[in-house]
Amino acid sequence: MTIVPYAVAAAVFALGIYGTIASRTLVYQILCVSVAQSSTYILLLSIGFRNGAGPPIFLSAPASRVLGVDPVAQALALTDVVVSAATTALLLALALRVHESGGSSEPARQRSESGE
């Protein structure tokens, strides 16, 4: 295993987190969370990858003869995509509500003193 996939994942993650911290628009901020999330797909696929291996589809019983990439990591990446899509959709819906109720799409920089 080389260090390159880890480095790429770390860089994408750092970019996404930086964007989340620095964004001035809610939609950008949410997209940056998605970017950070996509670093985990890279990480998952790279730990399941094996040089020279084919897709993990085995038609005959003794599967050990055929070299395939790790199917578990791919299944996990798929689950991860679903989780991420659900979160992003919900975040965007909330951002829309913030925009509708106050006309602003900037992240809150002031603590609200209201509430119960």
d(CA 53, CA 67): 5
Query: Any contact of residue 57 with other proteins (CB under 8 A)?
Result: no
> By the 8 A CB rule, do 6 and 46 touch?
yes
Residue from 17, 27, 69, 81 binding other proteins (CB under 8 A): 17
Residue from 8, 15, 27, 73 binding other proteins (CB under 8 A): 73
CA dihedral defined by 31, 35, 41, 47, rounded to 10 degrees? -160
Residue from 8, 15, 76, 81 binding other proteins (CB under 8 A): 76
Query: Any contact of residue 31 with other proteins (CB under 8 A)?
Result: no
